[in-house]
Amino acid sequence: MSKAGVARAVQRIASDLVALASAVLEDDAVSTNAKVGRNTLSSSYLRQSLKSMVSERGQGDPVISTLFQHYVVYLEWSRPPKYGKQPPIGVLKDWAASNGIPTDAHTLWAVSYAIWRDGHAGRPIFATLDGLADARFDERWADELFAEITEQLDTLFSKK
């Protein structure tokens, strides 16, 4: 097998990472919003927009990136009550529209105020994904990469 075999293994790992991230967002134990008592991430735009990207660093070393929407950091973070300023209502408009909430300024201000007043509990999306990825590496990915690399070495040494 050539470098292409390793590249295919890396692509499979990248795809698996997106599937694992999607599973985390579907997991009620992780993604349930404590304020409403239901998983608000399983059918969210965050889940629908997950992507992976493979790039190279240095001497062809692959780097796998799993891409989330920027606001995932706010979902991860536990916001204390009355912390800082209220979220701007402009950032709530698309979320409100997709959840059947009126998007007039008064309603959006009330939502923003409630977030500021009550805060919210963070959800351990990245910590959960990290644990799942570590387990998957131990169970499968390491063996797949090892097999591809040793096949490359076997081919290289059998030519001599």
pLDDT digits (tens, 9 = 90+) for 14-70: 999 999 999 999 999 999 998 889 999 999 999 999 999 999 887 778 899 999 999
Q: Report the mean per-residue pLDDT for the chain.
A: 91
CB atoms within 10 A of CB 40: 18
Q: What is the pLDDT of residue 108?
A: 96
H or E segment and range at residue 44: none
Interior angle at CA 35, CA 29 and CA 40, nearest 5? 55
CA dihedral 41, 47, 48, 50 (to 10 degrees): 160
pTM for the structure as a whole = 0.83
Which tokens is 20 given?
């694992």
What is the rounded CA–CA span in Å between residue 12 and residue 89?
A: 40
Question: What does the pLDDT read at residue 5?
Answer: 81
- Give the three-class secondary structure for 159: coil
What pLDDT digit, counting tens, does each position of 72-88 carry?
A: 999 999 999 999 999 99
